[in-house]
Amino acid sequence: MSTSYVPGIDGLRAIAVFAVVIFHIEFLGFLPGGFTGVDMFFVISGFVISRALAQRDGLPLGAYLLDFYRRRVLRILPALLTVLVVSFVLSALLVPPVWLSDQNDNTGLAAVFGLSNVVLAWNLDTYFSPGAEFNPYLHTWSLGVEEQFYLIFPLLFFVWLRRRQQGLLAWMLLPVAALLSLVLCAVQTTRDPLAAFYLLPARFWELAAGALLFQLMSVTGFVARCRSLARPLLVTGALLLAAGLAFAEQTHFPFPWAMLTVLGTLLLISAVVAEPGGSRWGLRRLLRAAPVTYLGRLSYSLYLWHWPLAVFVRWTVGMEQSWVPWAYPPVLLALAAASYHWIETPARRGRSALHRRPGLTLAGAVAGVGLAAGAGVWITANTERLSLSQVSDSYTWQAYKHYPQEPLEVIEDSAMQGRRLFVMGDSHTAAYRTLLNIVALRLGVEVVEYERGGCPVISLMDADPPRCAASRQAALGDLLERAQAGDIVFLASLRMPELKGRGWRQGDDQVLAAILAQQTPERSEAAYESAEALLQRLTRAGLTVLIDAPKPLFKAPPNRCSDGFNRMNPVCAPGFDVSREWLEALRAPQMNVLARLSAQFPALQVWDPLPILCPGSLCSAYDDQGKPLFSDSDHLSAHGNRILEPAFTQHLLTRVTPHL
């Protein structure tokens, strides 16, 4: 099989990156399965890498591997590290250290080493979660999969190159590995969807599919048969690909929906490689058109830049602005072209010793990775100094970072001596950390925290989520093992439906009615039963349980609307004031559940922060001095913690300690 340049492959790359970009900017809801463009890239990569490795047939294993990694490093690393460092800088300047932003920093630093997919697989948010759209490094997961594939595949392919003439075993090695990966993918898509989506074992089969196609094409006569079937292959492949782009379901991915895209891409590659010449017929001609193949050559840079650009636009002016869909494409194209012509191409085609000698290339790669990692660590550690945002005042905004700077009056209370305060819940537990630090210092109690973002404990709205059962049971088991009779357990979680992102243009009353309609008696009963089961275990151990009643929440997040460069964002339009009467109606079903629980469990105490945070008829995310009580639309700020702490401490001393 010829190893000359095939324009149609660049045409397929153009389709893949176009689909991904359109999906990520949510252009008119077009291509709802556009995320499967990444699966196209996997198949194309497996095929192209096999072609490249086949050209090194006959080299000793060491030279074969060194030359392969030299080329991969020059192809991938310079542009990737550039994008990562630029993203670190822009994140520090424009995106202050906001709630749960450590996940972004960890993803970016892991991406430097090709491990961002591993970090993301450990997170509770999926690729399609709303919070993921503010992680500028999210898209690097696919590069992590490919880079990890490159550590394994060249050795498997080397065995095939050397032994393919000597028996069946060399031919079976890759198909068996691909089949095992596909089976694992099918199992994990249901049982462990994050691992199935992000990690190599369940994705190996997609890259291997492209390599298997190359192996088949090396068989005498296979290309000729593909040539005679070029048009049917092209049409069938295009239909399968279109079906994947249009209908792939996020909840059943990668299995089985990725199979459509993988099979369609295999058929399209077969057609364009078997008959690479020109044609008057539309699709093949389109795939070979100069503008399309140019976009294909830019595809790597387009992929690298498209997501960070979208994240920073989304965070600042907002993707919803009418002019953004028109400005985004030319800006992205300019960034990608600059990256391709000034970074990618010089790195790949340079003739210096650093480019030509594998040892020097790999040493330079190690140095580049080290410098990028060092820059990332320093930038993320100094975000407050670099930030252009007032949210960088972490002492005011961030509830989880600082001990008090003000003079602190210590309260000696014999009933509190030797007691521990266990705190358990979702991210709203960590949002009390400033308050808890002050309480620990003021009362001399030890605070033990169990926090799992996205995993509420006694949400009062529904049964606690089954996906969090394992982490919840582990935390509860440790708590019960460590706690002594008389200790206090503070359960803090999100306990009202979030208001951000709702259709506020239709009016507050309509939105309230829609939210209340979702809180059915069945859901409230499930919430009661879930809470009852947990409270029985805690109270049987002689523990006093304290629950915070549902706090105010807001339509827009203050930390995204605090500065001149983001205040015009459409997400800020709903404002930061909500009627207290409206909030009381919104939390009424949860308060009813709390009342039932309080009647059943004498050791249960309810602390209500709402009257303190909202003393009047209008609840605001800011106090009378303009300081934020909330960092985002529902998490407390550090200032809000300091406002609440006296009331919380008083509640512990006057309402909780009598039960000790």
Contact (CB, 8 A) for 61 and 158: yes
Mapped onto helix, strand or coil, the DSSP state of residue 578 is: strand
Question: Residues near 73 by Cβ (< 8 Å), separated by ≥ 6?
Answer: 361, 362, 365
420 has which bridge partners? 446
Q: SS3 for 101? A: coil
User: How many angstroms separate the CA atoms of 110 and 498, rounded?
Assistant: 31
CB contact at 8 A, 575 and 505: no
Termini Cα distance of the chain: 81
Rg (CA), the chain: 28
The HSE-up count of residue 478 (CA atoms within 13 Å, CB side) is 12
Q: What is the DSSP pairing of strand 420-425 with strand 488-492?
A: parallel
The DSSP call for residue 626 is S
Cα 546–chain centre separation: 33
The residues, ordered by sequence, that sit 6+ positions from 6 with a Cβ below 8 Å of its Cβ are 272, 273, 276
**CA 107 remoteness from chain centre:** 8
- All residues at 6 or more sequence positions from 305 whose CB lies less than 8 Å from its CB, including other chains: 83, 332, 335, 336, 339
Regions of the chain short of the pLDDT cut 50? 659-660
- pLDDT value of position 101: 74
Domains of the chain: residue spans and CATH: 7-386 (no CATH), 409-659 (3.40.50.1110)
Complete edge-to-edge strand list for the sheet that includes strand 446-451:
446-451, 420-425, 488-492, 544-548, 604-607
Give the DSSP per-residue string, 128-193: TSGGGGG-TTGGGHHHHHHHHHHHHHHHHHHHHHHHTTS-SHHHHHHHHHHHHHHHHHHHHHHH-H
Separation CA 489–CA 448 (nearest Å): 9
Scanning 519-579, the segments in alpha helix (DSSP H) are: 521-540
Residue 415, pLDDT score: 75
Tell me the residue ranges of DSSP E strands in 353-507: 420-425, 446-451, 488-492
Nearest-CA neighbor of 11 among 318, 272, 397? 272
CA dihedral angle for residue 98, residue 514, residue 578, residue 572, rounded to 10 degrees:
40
Q: Is 240 helix (H, G, I), strand (E, B) or coil?
A: helix
Give residue 660's pLDDT. 43
Task: Reduce the DSSP state of residue 375 to 3 states and report it.
Answer: helix
How distant, in Å, are the alpha carbons of 460, 461, 482, 522, 545 from that of 548?
11, 14, 23, 23, 10
**Would you list the DSSP string of 21-52?**
HHHHTT-TT--TTGGGHHHHHHHHHHHHHHHH
> Looking at residue 278, what is its pLDDT?
57
Which DSSP state fits 652?
Answer: I
d(CA 264, CA 266): 5
**For position 431, what pLDDT does the model report?**
93
Q: What is the pLDDT of residues 170-213, one digit of tens each?
A: 899 999 999 999 999 999 999 999 999 999 999 999 999 999 99
